Amino acid sequence: MLQEVSERYPLVLHSVGLSLGGLSPLDLDYLKQVKALKQETGALWYSEHASFSGNNDFKVPDLLPLPYTEEAVDHLSQRIMQVQEFMGERILLENVSTYLSCQFNEMTEGEFIAAVADKADCYLLLDINNAYVTAKNLDQEMQTFMDVIPVERVKQIHLAGFHDKGDFLLDAHNHAVDQKVWQAFELFIEKNGAIPSMIEWDNDLPPLARLLQEREIAASILASAKPVTQAATAFRGSYALS
């Protein structure tokens, strides 16, 4: 079925299984399968998360945040470069939703993501919903994060809905995109030009018509955007809006 889909639509691969920021050696067998799948489907790119998921002895089905330190910048960058060498291309790095902060942080999340992208020379997958969820959970300013993201490296954007648990927001992908997230998306696109964007809705799926309503909002915002700058286009490569 996936092969048939790939014959009609452009695909991208998005992984949660590599534990890119972990301390255990990278699973090259896993990467080999990802690379083969990418070749079989003609997928445009492969993305991972700025997080870890345990170690060899203990794994969790979640994306755990890293400390925002120079040591972590070096560690994650080296791992990304190892993956990129194996894949033979740049990958995309996504910011994750967080629910607590590390007392040893030496920089903000935005500064951390920007430093890693620069050192590893990778692309970014900007998840605006994750940025909003993190800002609300940690009582931070979302715009502080957005302002330091190197837009020329952003090759894709994610949008999603969260579950308001009262004391915190859960990145559950089971609701429509929040109005504040739409506003942040529109502002970012208005300032920086149209960038391929995707809405994630993984749980409690509504009727297709409701999903298409969400898509139309995103499509309208992208359609009204100014052209991407020549410098950004040259860095990201040429691609059609999706």
Q: Looking at residue 232, what is its pLDDT?
A: 53
Say how many CA atoms lie within 13 Å of 141 toward its Cβ.
5
pLDDT, tens digit, 9 for 90 and up, residues 73-109: 999 999 999 999 999 999 999 999 999 999 999 999 9
Q: What is the mean pLDDT of residues 35-64?
A: 91
Q: Looking at residue 44, what is its pLDDT?
A: 97
The answer to whether 50 and 126 have CB atoms below 8 angstroms apart is no
CA distance 163 to 146: 22
Tell me the two tokens of residue 7.
Answer: 């014959």
Q: Is the pLDDT of residue 230 over 70?
A: no
Q: What is the CA radius of gyration of the chain?
A: 17
The answer to whether 189 and 158 have CB atoms below 8 angstroms apart is no
Q: What is the mean pLDDT of residues 213-240?
A: 73
Q: What is the mean pLDDT of residues 213-220?
A: 97
CA distance 80 to 87: 10
Q: What percent of the chain has pLDDT over 70?
A: 93
pTM comes to 0.93
pLDDT, tens digit, 9 for 90 and up, residues 134-159: 999 999 999 999 999 999 999 999 99
